[in-house]
């Protein structure tokens, strides 16, 4: 009966995909030897035969025949009289092998063995999951959303392993429900209390890099290299690429015909704007490309402090800075230079007024909103349409119209 109780455990063990047969045999034998050592003090003279396929096993004890009055250790010795009960032909000095019946160990020992075996199987499976995912750090995995919590999402992979996607590693506009398919990159694998924790991310630059590898064969094949990626998840990203084959246009290859390749990536990232930039070791040219779509008039680099002074026409300033300063921030991260934007001297009407001068007519927070998009003078605001100002700031249309009227009055 007890043997039958263990067959289920054997079957569970056999079904585990990540455990090879030699490891299975080794663990099973080790558990049995541990039980034998506890009962007899030593398990060295026992042979254990395990049949995993049938869920069956045999335990044979090997002892040396001694005279009845010379018995000193019943674990490794058997008196001649007992040996002859097994077979009349046994003589002193010969080795006797007899089967140890499992029920002889007692119900408590059998229960303990089953629990020990189950625990060892579980530990082995956990360790194999840890090793498997440790080697997959930086890879994209696909799973199914199993549970959505406030701070994280529980994801199950194809084998039913649990993966964690923290809230901080989700794109702000991500909204998943149970049963949804999800793609993310493995960024961290660690053991906590002997349990593997696999942490996923959709905000890591590595996730964007792997998506490019999936969508652009030239990157996967190594013909195009991604030099650097910077991003504000869900908002904007800049990707610097370089081609080792002069016949291949790296930017064109990444974007694809009519944007066919990059559209899939943009959809996956919840409409994140992606600027693909041709990398160059010429820092001035690289900064110029990084600030796209703004057109730069001139650049002055200060290598000692890693600063770049950028001069533009007034109507280009807001493009260079971007909404909320996002474009210039990402360009700085991509190039490694702190970028300062200046209006080109003589490139605008001599008559202009700083927005601070209107502090008595326009509230400070509205002025700050306008300065955040690169408009720090009256004419820089008037150079933009009302619809552009509404779109790029968080101001209401009525507020924008009032501001524009105040500024126009200054020049009339």
Q: How far apart are CA 380 and CA 315, in angstroms?
A: 7
- Do residues 6 and 128 share a domain? yes
Q: Is residue 305 situated within a structural domain?
A: no
- Phi, psi (5° rounding) for residue 274? -120, 120
Six-digit token pair at 21? 């047969």
Tell me whether residue 126 is in a domain. Answer: yes
Give the CATH number for residue 168: 2.40.50.140
pLDDT tens per residue, range 4-13: 445 555 555 5
Q: Which of 194-208, 237-251, 269-283, 335-349 has the lowest mean pLDDT?
A: 335-349
**Domain interval for residue 155:** 138-201
Q: Is residue 301 part of a domain?
A: no
* Cβ atoms < 10 Å from Cβ of 152: 17
Same domain membership, residue 212 and residue 195: no
Residue 154 Cα to chain centre, angstroms = 13
Instruction: Find the DSSP H helices in 176-259.
Output: 205-215, 217-220, 250-255
Are residues 113 and 14 part of one domain? yes
DSSP 54: T
CA distance 61 to 77: 10
Domain final position from 84, 107, 132: 132
Asked whether residue 290 is domain-assigned, the answer is no
Query: How many residues in the chain?
Result: 412
Report how far Cα 310 is from the mean position of its chain's Cα atoms.
37
Where does a domain end: 79, 113, 132?
Answer: 132
Q: How many folded domains does the chain comprise?
A: 4
Q: Are residues 360 and 401 in the same domain?
A: yes
**Closest by alpha carbon to 200, among 210, 273, 226, 215?**
210
Segment 112-122 mean pLDDT: 80
Of the candidates 61, 67, 64, 69, the residue with the CA atom closest to the CA atom of residue 93: 64
The answer on 78 and 43 residing in a single domain is yes
Instruction: Give the residues across from 339 on adjacent strands.
Output: 308
More confident residue, 65 or 242: 242
DSSP 193: T
Both 34 and 86 in one domain: the answer is yes
Same structural domain for residues 39 and 111?
A: yes
359 and 261 belong to one structural domain: no
pLDDT tens digits, 149-169: 999 999 999 989 999 999 999
Evaluate whether residue 55 is within a structural domain.
yes
363 and 269 within one domain? no
Predicted pLDDT at 4: 44
Query: Among residues 244, 279, 314, which one ends one of the domains?
Result: 279
Q: Which letter, b or e, does each residue of 179-213 get, where b requires 16 or more Cβ atoms within 10 Å of its Cβ?
A: eeebbbbbbebeeeeeebebbbbbbbbbbbbbbbb
- Kindly report the CATH number assigned to the domain that includes residue 251: 3.30.300.20
Residue 282: asked if its preceding bond is cis (omega within 30°), the reply is no
Q: Which of 298, 294, 347 is nearest to 319 (CA)?
A: 294
Q: What mean pLDDT is predicted for residues 250-276?
A: 94
> Does residue 220 share a domain with residue 168?
no
Within 10 angstroms of residue 250's Cβ, the number of other Cβ atoms is: 26
């Amino acid at each position: 009966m007890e043997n039958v109780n263990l067959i289920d455990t054997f079957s569970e063990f056999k079904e585990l995909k990540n455990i090879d047969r030699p490891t299975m045999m080794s663990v099973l034998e080790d558990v049995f030897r541990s039980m034998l050592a506890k009962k007899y003090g030593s398990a060295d003279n026992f042979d254990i035969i395990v049949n995993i396929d049938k869920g069956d096993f045999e335990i044979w004890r090997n002892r040396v025949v001694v005279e009845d009055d010379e018995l000193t250790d019943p674990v490794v010795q058997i008196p001649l009289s007992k040996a002859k009960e097994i077979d009349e032909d046994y003589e002193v000095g010969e080795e006797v092998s007899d089967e140890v019946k499992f029920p002889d160990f007692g119900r408590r020992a059998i229960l303990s063995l089953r629990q020990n075996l189950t625990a060892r199987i579980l530990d082995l499976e956990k360790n194999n999951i840890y090793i498997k995912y440790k080697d997959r750090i930086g890879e994209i995995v696909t799973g199914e959303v199993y549970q959505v919590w406030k701070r994280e999402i529980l994801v199950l992979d194809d084998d039913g392993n649990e993966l964690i996607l923290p809230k901080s590693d989700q794109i702000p506009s991500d909204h998943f429900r149970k049963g949804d398919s999800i793609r993310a990159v493995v960024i961290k694998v660690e053991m906590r209390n002997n349990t593997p924790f696999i942490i996923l991310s959709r905000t890591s630059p590595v996730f964007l890099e792997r998506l490019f590898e999936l969508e652009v064969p030239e990157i996967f094949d190594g013909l195009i290299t991604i030099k650097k990626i910077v991003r504000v998840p869900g908002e904007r990203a800049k990707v610097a690429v370089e081609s080792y084959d002069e016949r291949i246009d790296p930017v064109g290859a990444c974007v694809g015909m009519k944007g066919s390749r990059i559209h899939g990536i943009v959809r996956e990232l919840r409409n994140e704007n992606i600027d693909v930039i041709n990398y160059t070791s010429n820092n001035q040219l690289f900064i110029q490309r990084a600030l796209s779509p703004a057109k730069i008039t001139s650049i002055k680099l200060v290598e000692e402090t890693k600063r770049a002074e950028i001069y533009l026409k007034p109507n280009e300033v807001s493009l260079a800075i971007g909404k909320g300063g996002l474009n210039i921030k990402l360009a700085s991260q991509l190039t490694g230079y702190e970028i300062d934007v200046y209006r080109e001297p003589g490139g605008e009407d001599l008559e202009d007024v700083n927005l601070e001068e209107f502090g008595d007519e326009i509230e400070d927070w509205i002025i700050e909103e306008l300065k955040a998009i690169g408009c720090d003078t009256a004419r820089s605001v008037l150079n933009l349409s009302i619809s552009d100002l509404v779109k790029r700031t968080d101001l209401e249309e009525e507020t924008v119209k009032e501001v524009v009227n105040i500024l126009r009055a200054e020049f009339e």
